Structure 1
Amino acid sequence: MAQHRRTGPDVRADHRRRGLDEESGILELTTDNVAALSIARDIAPKVELDGTLLPLESAASGLLPQVYFVKSNSGWDVLKYDDSKAFIENSNLRKRRNLQGPIDDAFTLPFVCVKGTGTPWTPEQQAWSQSVLSLFEKEFDKWLRGKVPVITDKEVTDKTIADKNLILFGDPGSNALIAKMVEDLPIQWSKDQITVNGKTYDTRDHGVALIYPNPLNPTRYVVINSGHTMHEKDFRASNSWLFPKLGDIAVIKFKQHKDGNFENETVWAELFDSNWELP
């Protein structure tokens, strides 16, 4: 039986398997709404994708266990070895399996939360981000019966970046990882303002929660100032309530009460498109 993985950027893609033709030995596949896919090379010598016959066993010089195919306006193309490596490394930032969002998807694979050790640009922003982390730790412990892994920005190693989704808390002043990445994120962040999708917000009472391919390792996620987007009332309700609430990026208006607790209001939220860009 064919073993193939959909790696296309559109999570709605429908990959319809037809199977091996016993007489020709060709793997026959039809697709609908698929932009890219990979197929194990040892399944068949060739594959027929939507009527186009392409090499499989010999593709990419026979050097990779998976063969990658990308659809263009003229039809399906098989990627050569170097192009396949570039596709795997995701230098073009395309949405794909395990890298398609939303925010909560980052917690389905190994992750680590990273607190800053520097001086925050905005004390109010720092207090809010710390409250987000504290709430995530509390709810994760209570409802998922586990301890959230938390380290400081000084403890992040190359191996951490290679192996884990990074969940960063703070601002570019307090967190060295945010400072290192902020120029490559789809926002503009200064000491006084955050600009998202052309609109500017005051950092003293607004924060951004987002998920994005990690600029230091585009095969993993970075999340800024967010844990799970479902909370205690959702866990108390039923499993049917445990779904993502914010999409890929959101602007949160926050207000700290006298008792130290924060009131949060989502004033804008959106999903990035297949190229990790705002529509």
Structure 2
Amino acid sequence: VKDAGHWRPAAAADEAGLRKRPGLQGPIDDIFMEPFLVAMPSGTSPNARFQRWVEFESQHFRERWASVLRGELREKKDSEVTADDLARYHVLAWGDATSNSLIARTLAKLPIGWDAQAIHVGAQDYASASHALAMIQPNPLSPGKYLVLNSGVTFRESDDRNNAMQNPKLPDWAVIDLDKAPDEHAAGGIAAAGFFDEAWKVK
């Protein structure tokens, strides 16, 4: 492992706590490699612009999953998700802390902050009024499973020309600029994006 700028042999203590490991290393699209559950918001975000984006993008993902992946999504409302679901499935949650109770329960334990004013990525802030957060992280409610916020598969219609292009287009997290409408390339403008470090923290 890299410690204070130098490499050293890994010790047992290095495996304690939250660490990236095979099967739990990201990026966002890695959630789709195993059974997952889509948790739709039972509430409505007070940010009408973000709410419209969630409705569009979640439906876009539903249609893409059916047409490209030829499957039907396993979906529940956030209020219907059980402890057994959390143990069995990775969870993809749409919405924000005001509209989706699963996001509300986990947000304080995630490495990127998100409140009514801004999305906080390290020292950088992005106005919540005009941005959305997409990310993957071990689920604080079930650490052996993933939690993804606000992202379907990250390849879109422009990548459907051949299978070689249908691969992940985003890393572990992305801040989506809602000033740019979703299109065949992306879910909006990509204001910022990156990978978490080996401990699932912002680099």
Describe how 1:1-279 pairs up with structure 2 within 5 A.
73=8, 75=9, 92-235=17-160, 237-255=161-179, 264-279=188-203
The one-letter amino acid paired with 1:114 is A
Q: Distance in 1 between matches of 2:124 and 2:145?
A: 28
Q: Aligned with 1:132: secondary structure?
A: helix
Deviation at 1:170, TM superposition (A): 0.5
Contact 2:93 2:150 in 1 (8 A): yes
Q: CA deviation at 1:204?
A: 2.1
TM-score (norm. length: structure 1):
0.65
- Take 2:139 and 2:187, find their aligned partners in 1: how far apart are those partners? 29
How much does 1:200 deviate?
1.5
Instruction: Indicate if the aligned counterparts of 2:133 and 2:173 stay in contact, CA closer than 8 A.
Output: yes
Please, what TM-score do these two structures have when normalized by structure 2? 0.88
Higher relative contact order (CA 8 A, sep 6+): 2
- Structure 1 residues 210 and 229: alpha-carbon distance in aligned structure 2, compared to 1, 3 A threshold: same
Instruction: Quote the offset at 1:247 in angstroms.
Output: 0.3
Unaligned 5+ segments in structure 2 are: 2-6
Identical-pair percentage: 36
Aligned-CA RMSD value: 2.2
| Letter aligned with residue 120 of structure 2 | T
Q: Cα offset for 1:233?
A: 1.5
By percentage of residues, which structure has more strand?
1
**8 A contact 2:137–2:148 mirrored in 1:** yes
Q: For the structure 1 residues 239 and 154, does the alpha-carbon distance in structure 2 shift closer, same or farther, using more than 3 Å as the test?
A: same
After superposing on structure 2, the runs of 4+ consecutive aligned residues of structure 1 that deviate more than 3 Å are: none
Quote the Cα distance in structure 1 between the aligned partners of 2:83 and 2:60.
28
Cα displacement string for residues 157-203 of structure 1 (whole angstroms, at most 9, x for unaligned residues): 00111111110000100000000000001112112322122221222
Q: CA shift at 1:256, angstroms?
A: 7.6
Q: Distance in 1 between matches of 2:46 and 2:96?
A: 7
Displacement, 1:217? 1.0
State the 1:76 CA deviation: 6.0
Verify the 8 A CA contact 1:99 1:220 in the aligned structure 2: yes
**Residue type matched to 1:158 in 2?**
A
Question: Which one has the largest radius of gyration?
Answer: 1
CA distance in 2, matches of 1:115, 1:266: 23
Count of equivalent residues: 194
Offset from partner CA, 1:98-144 (integer Å, 9 cap, x none)? 10000000011010111111242322212212221111111111111
